[in-house]
Amino acid sequence: MSFEADFTEQDDAGEHILRFTGRLTVARLGNVPRRLEELSSPPGKADVSAVDRVDTVGAWLLHKLNRDHGATIIGASDDAQRLIKQVSIADDPAKTRPDADGPIARMLRGIGRGTLEAGSSLLGLLAFFGGLLIATGQVIANPRRFRLHALVERFESVGVSALGIIGLMSFLIGIVIAQQGAVQLRQFGAEIFTINLIGRITLRELGVLMTAIMVAGRSGSAFAAQIGSMKLAEEVDAMRTIGIPPMEALVLPRVLATTLLMPLLGFYASFIMIVGGGLLCWVGLDIPPTTYIQRLREVVPLTDLWVGLIKAPVFGFIIGLTGCFQGMQVQGNNEQVGLKTTAAVVQAIFLVIVLDAFFAVFFSSIGWG
């Protein structure tokens, strides 16, 4: 015997009767719902005496026959009758999604919301910066409140554990610059200038910039995620009620850690890039290490090192600040943590690159070009 739900239509004494068979359950419905929509004439009765099981979905279909066509249900078991009664009580049509806007309204709303969000995010970041300055002032006035332990912990996670990946990245970038530079300069017989290229570009730009991107991805995102989940778990509120300012306990050590470590990491990255470039010069261009170092000392002015080292703490500050700021913006649900973490990284890298452009103009106009 087949369990599939089915029905036949009959005309009996001027009345249109549907006779159901099989199981009226969601698993066995097949095409019955569609056929019920396309009935040739409105049924007066629905006979379910041959049906051996009914679930809520089956009961709902029967209820609809009754509601839409006034059909009486006959031959229903006690269970089926009870189910039909229950679903008829629960019949209260509603939408399954909130109303959507038209495409133009949605676009306009999107632009408006985006503008507002960008504006309020920038303003918020400024206010956050102010809050951090106040917290710093308070800690300076009362140095006992400084959390050295938290700072040292951040030193490890932001700095020491990043040495491996930053070193590897820098080494490879050094090789790539040297190799690409050599290929282009060879056309002019000026391969020796590869050394100028490596020395100057790594110290001035790439060492610090690549490190900033790596730190934003590693630590800025981690800050946002940590602080964000602490906010969701009401840990930040708990801190406030106990009397620990989150700015002082959570934000200051993190921002300080990235600010202090970026120059060190940036210098380290530049150094490794120069080593990588030197290795390629030695292997690929037959320039021995002694010549490489001697030439570096001749062509790279000390100001190049200062340019990199002055930029680095600013970048570190931006990364720490945006990471913590976005973390503190989390509210509502877990999805926010992911969104704000992404926002922290994107915002940090964007601001770093914008600032880097300003620095480039500034340094060349003071004659450090």
Nearest approach, Cβ of 66 to another protein (angstroms)?
A: 14
Q: Are residues 98 and 294 in contact, defined by beta-carbon separation less than 8 angstroms?
A: no
Q: Is 94 or 361 the residue whose CB approaches another protein more closely? A: 94
What amino acid is encoded at 117 in this protein?
E
Nearest approach, Cβ of 229 to another protein (angstroms)?
A: 15
Residue appearing with tokens 């029905």: 7
176: closest CA among 201, 212, 208, 156? Answer: 201
Nearest approach, Cβ of 121 to another protein (angstroms)?
A: 21
Nearest approach, Cβ of 81 to another protein (angstroms)?
A: 11
Q: Is 333 or 365 the residue whose CB approaches another protein more closely? A: 333
Q: Is 32 or 273 the residue whose CB approaches another protein more closely? A: 32
Q: What string of DSSP letters covers 50-115?
A: TEEEE-HHHHHHHHHHHHHH-PEEES--HHHHHHHHHHHHT-----SSPPPPPHHHHHHHHHHHHH
Q: Is 79 or 156 the residue whose CB approaches another protein more closely? A: 79
Q: Is 332 or 367 the residue whose CB approaches another protein more closely? A: 332
Q: How far apart are CA 276 and CA 293, in angstroms?
A: 13
Q: Is 56 or 121 the residue whose CB approaches another protein more closely? A: 56
The residues, any chain, with a CB within 8 Å of residue 270's CB and separated by 6 or more, are: 170, 202, 203, 206, 207, 208, 308
Three-class SS of residue 41? coil
Q: How far apart are CA 320 and CA 154, in angstroms?
A: 11
Nearest approach, Cβ of 64 to another protein (angstroms)?
A: 8
Nearest approach, Cβ of 26 to another protein (angstroms)?
A: 6
Residue appearing with tokens 């020491």: 160
Nearest approach, Cβ of 86 to another protein (angstroms)?
A: 5
Q: Are residues 76 and 48 in contact, defined by beta-carbon separation less than 8 angstroms?
A: yes
Nearest approach, Cβ of 62 to another protein (angstroms)?
A: 13
Q: Is 34 or 149 the residue whose CB approaches another protein more closely? A: 34
**In a 10 Å sphere around its CB, with 0-12 CB exposed, 13-18 middle and 19+ buried, how is residue 279 labelled?**
middle
Alpha-helix residue ranges (DSSP H) falling in 142-204: 148-154, 163-186, 194-201
Q: Is 286 or 335 the residue whose CB approaches another protein more closely? A: 335
Print burial letters for 207-226: b (CB count within 10 Å at least 16), e (below 16): bbbbbbbbbbbbbbbbbbbb
Q: Is 63 or 254 the residue whose CB approaches another protein more closely? A: 63
Q: Which residues sit at the interface with another protein, rule CB under 8 A?
A: 25-27, 29-31, 33-34, 55-57, 60, 64, 79, 82-83, 86-87, 89-99, 332-335
Cα 44 from chain centre: 58
Cα 161 from chain centre: 23
Q: How far apart are CA 346 and CA 322, in angstroms?
A: 10
Nearest approach, Cβ of 135 to another protein (angstroms)?
A: 31
